[in-house]
Amino acid sequence: MQSLRPLLNMKRPKTPLPPPSSSAPSAPPTPQQKQPINKLLNPTSKKPRNILQNPQSVPTASAVDGGIKFKPLNINKKELYLPLTFPTGQTFRWKKTGPLQYTGPIGPHLVSLKQLEDNGVGYFCHFTDDEDTARLSLFDFLNMGICLNEMWSEFKACDERFAELALYLEGARVLRQEPLECLIQFICSSNNNIQRITKMVDFISSKGKFLGNVGGAKYIVGTVAALQSKPGGGVEWLASLRKLDLREAIDGLSTLPGVGPKVAACIALFSLDQHHAIPVDTHVWQIATRYLIPELAGTRLTPKICSRVADAFVSKYGKYAGWAQTLLFISELPSQRAILPSSFWSTEERSSAKLQTKIQVIPETEENPGKKKRQN
């Protein structure tokens, strides 16, 4: 996602199909063409690819299983457990391509990760011109400069419930994504669930520079135009937000079309090193009112209440509060309840049901009377 200008093109040009040729094509196929899986996994060209602008099909489980040797990353399950990291709403471009296995892009590299039999993590590069660079980019993307085990030890010491959850949900990391890609994904997230967001992001990726009528496209186009006007360019400006404090980063992101407080907090947490950012929605608010600030149960979710919720998480968990909130959020996902014993939810579900009858949420339009409704 290094180039911003092409995203402004909204119409697909009609390009005639090339005449048949007996010789092999000299350039990679266009997004409209299908590529055989053997060429997908063993490309003849070693030129770096921009996965977003010239997307290829994600390798299927059967294709990835055959003939691929995963190299160990020397990361254990306590530091990274793939099923609790990738399909949990942080990123929407990584696909499950096999048992305990996920495939996705990191810059120009297409990588598969797999939880190995020894509970470590292995990787395989499908597309890259420099595997050493791909490996370094992978470690950066996985946020491996932060020790999850040490952080969780502090959380468990101050929160008995977190300690109980950690027994079943170890290895849920917060990723460090490329800021522009993270921004575009979370513009698509407004008022949507994980499955629908994933479909929208897939559609945008498949079209490359031609957005068409995908939901949120007008905000993406507006955001790209705004980024192009930033000093030094949008990519540089987004990266500079990593050096600011959280409030300044949130305020900067909120100037972009389609970005409100929650979306800005997601981008800050998942790509801008703002580890105490708390994306507050009704789910996070319910968690907070059940376990941190029960006195707010039944109130309306106003901007002021959102700030109190975020402050409550930071007061409880400190400078990495966003990581703690991520684990608590993951524990509420229906896909993760099978991991937790049924007794764990019996009392909490009754409490949640009572709380649901009291919830009153102020729409974005009421919070910002001068704006059109954009996101939660």
Q: Which positions are annotated as active-site residues?
A: 262
- Residue 351: exposed, middle, or buried by beta-carbon count in 10 A (0-12, 13-18, 19+)? middle
- Which structure tokens are listed for 245? 């404090």
Cβ atoms 102, 95 nearer than 8 A: yes
Which residues, at least 6 apart from 21, have a Cβ–Cβ distance to it below 8 Å?
none
Q: CB neighbours of 167 closer than 8 A, spacing ≥ 6?
A: none
Closest to 178 measured CA to CA, from 238, 98, 261: 238
In 266-278, which positions are buried (b, 16+ CB within 10 angstroms) versus exposed (e)?
bbbbbbbbbbbbb
Terminal-residue alpha carbon distance, the chain: 25
β-bridge partners, 300: 360
From residue 352, alpha-carbon distances to 48, 85, 248 in Å are 49, 25, 34
**Cα 260 to Cα 301: distance, rounded to the nearest angstrom:** 15
Q: Is residue 6 within 8 Å of residue 54, measured between CB atoms?
A: no
- Which tokens go with 196? 């629908």
The first and second tokens of residue 338, run together, are 């099978």
Q: Which secondary-structure segment (H or E) carries 115? A: strand 109-115
Lookup result for tokens 């500079």: 240
Name the DSSP letter for residue 294. G
